[in-house]
Amino acid sequence: MKDTPTAQVDELYSPQRMIAFGLQHVLVMAASPIAAVFLMSKALGFDTALTTELLSATFLVCGIGTLIQSFGPAGIGAKLPFVMLPGGAPIILFILIAQQTDLPTASGAVILSALLYFLIVPIFKRFLRYFPSLVIGIMLLLVAINLAQISGKLIAGTPGTANFGNTDNLLLALITIASTVLFARLLKGMCRQLAILLGLMVGALSAALMGDISLSGVGSGSLLALPSPFPFGPPKFDLIAALPLLLFTLISMVEATGQTIALNEVLGKEGEAEQQAQVPNTIRGDGLASLLGGIFGTSLIITSGENIGIIRATQVRSRYVTAVGGLFLILFGVFSPLSALISVIPASVIGATGLVVFAIVGTMGIDMLRKVDLRGHASMYVVATALAVGLLPIVVPGIYDQLPSQLRLLLSNGVAMGALTAAVLNYLFIHVGQRSPKTAPLQHS
């Protein structure tokens, strides 16, 4: 039936609704590609021209990747409303490989990692049964806490810097969040579904009135920005140098598993087998988008957990909406003034919008965990230990700085470590001896 959540994934809206909903996805998550490119530029000393080209390429590849996940041609892509973004950890690994070797080797490492997705999928899908709701709920909760911390830094700045806790930024964040909540409470129909976008627009308008937005550089430069492949020259393939990214590929598969299951839950699919069925396609979509990322000079491009929160908040489940979002990302990549216009939105406004969305992702994790009887001995220890391992590097940044670099990069990823810990303990406590945790009856409102 058309009005069921599962059917709504294939629903087509009127053009104006598709444009508005698609733009909402993109604007909420626009900070990620911009921050990724600026971080690379600062760390590796890129000039303005190369930075602009890489920003264009990143938007373009994210857009193409989003189309791949939304339409899923030939089993590559999940045919689900995913938006693709550059991962934070892969960008850091790209920078480290480039600093230790050179940029062509770093690009080669991305390409090798992208190919690994396709090679590992047939093996990895055999282990999907070890990622039940218990494990995915923990992962979503850690994702939300980690992303909320990032959003908090966008709002308040970095501790120890002169601009940390700037009152203007705090005020803009408060206005953005309050506007989003008011719109969600007072508006009806389509306008309520656009509460996140409208809240962001109020925040941006408030920033303009406060003099915190400058449009002076938006119209400068060329109109078109067409990125070229291999901006650093022909890639070099070095398996030893690529090892950090190759290892992260395995972690990324775990994260893609959690996001696919979580999104399918939002879409109304019941039963773990049905929720896991599209995981291999999601991973292959990540692989193809990441391959394009390596060709155009960025790092791995992976499925974004942020848009799951937007879908949960708006109840707009159509993959054609994210496909429109993908087209917007491509436009931002091709037309320089559009990407420049997005980049002037203050970080505090983007951070406040993200904070709401990421908190919604956290509620999804809690909702999945409540289906498990946490009074049971096994489930209690799985959740407690996984949260302890996952939260430690999030709440105590830098705790592993004294460890060797490769080990530090792995342990510092709280989301990955928490999810892997949960999966291992779930196997030891529950699968060994075939003891199944009691599940609490679902409560439907």
Tens of pLDDT, residue by residue over 338-358, are 777 777 888 888 888 888 888
* Paired sense of beta strands 301-303 and 84-86, if any: antiparallel
Helix axes 414-426, 377-395, angle to 10 degrees: 160
Percent of the chain's residues with pLDDT above 90? 33
Q: How confident is the model at residue 217, as a pLDDT?
A: 63
Pick from 415, 390, 295: which is nearest to 54 by CA? 295
Specify the DSSP element, H or E, that contains 86. Answer: strand 84-86
The answer to whether the beta carbons of residues 383 and 422 sit under 8 Å apart is yes
- Taking 60 as the threshold, does the pLDDT of residue 437 lie above it? no
pLDDT band at 4 (very low <50, low <70, confident <90, very high): low
pLDDT band at 325 (very low <50, low <70, confident <90, very high): very high
Q: How confident is the model at residue 320, as a pLDDT?
A: 95
State how far the Cα of 301 lies from the Cα of 290, in Å rounded to an integer: 5
CA distances to 48, 168, 218, 249, 297 from 338, rounded to whole Å, are 17, 26, 8, 32, 21
- Taking 50 as the threshold, does the pLDDT of residue 382 lie above it? yes
- Taking 90 as the threshold, does the pLDDT of residue 439 lie above it? no
pTM above 0.85, yes or no: no
State how far the Cα of 237 lies from the Cα of 110, in Å rounded to an integer: 9
CB neighbours of residue 341 within 10 Å: 15
The alpha carbon dihedral of 77, 83, 86, 88 has a sign of negative
Which burial class, exposed, middle or buried, applies to 376 when counting CB atoms under 10 A from its CB (0-12, 13-18, 19+)? middle
- Taking 50 as the threshold, does the pLDDT of residue 380 lie above it? yes
Q: How confident is the model at residue 1, as a pLDDT?
A: 42
CA distances to 67, 108, 352 from 103, rounded to whole Å, are 28, 9, 34
Q: How confident is the model at residue 442, as a pLDDT?
A: 44
- Taking 80 as the threshold, does the pLDDT of residue 387 lie above it? yes
Lowest mean per-residue pLDDT among 74-78, 177-181, 301-305, 389-393: 301-305
The answer to whether the beta carbons of residues 315 and 331 sit under 8 Å apart is no
Q: How confident is the model at residue 218, as a pLDDT?
A: 65
pLDDT band at 69 (very low <50, low <70, confident <90, very high): very high
**Which of 388 and 274 is assigned the larger pLDDT?**
388
Q: Which amino acid makes up residue 6?
A: T
Lowest mean per-residue pLDDT among 27-31, 41-45, 82-86, 322-326: 27-31
Nearest 5°: CA angle at 63, between 57 and 67?
A: 145
Tens of pLDDT, residue by residue over 108-146, are 999 999 999 999 999 988 888 788 888 888 988 888 888
Tens of pLDDT, residue by residue over 395-435, are 888 898 888 876 777 788 788 788 889 989 988 887 775 55
State how far the Cα of 355 lies from the Cα of 334, in Å rounded to an integer: 29
Q: How confident is the model at residue 135, as a pLDDT?
A: 86
Tens of pLDDT, residue by residue over 190-205, are 888 888 889 989 999 9
Tens of pLDDT, residue by residue over 353-376, are 888 888 888 888 898 888 888 888
Specify the DSSP element, H or E, that contains 84. Answer: strand 84-86
Average pLDDT along the chain: 85
**Upper half-sphere CA count for residue 355 (Cβ side, 13 Å):** 24
Give the end-to-end CA distance of the chain in Å, rounded to a whole number: 20
Tens of pLDDT, residue by residue over 147-193, are 788 788 888 887 878 888 899 999 999 999 999 999 999 998 888 88
Q: How confident is the model at residue 6, as a pLDDT?
A: 62
Tens of pLDDT, residue by residue over 248-300, are 888 888 888 888 988 888 888 777 777 788 899 999 999 999 999 999 999 99
pLDDT band at 444 (very low <50, low <70, confident <90, very high): very low
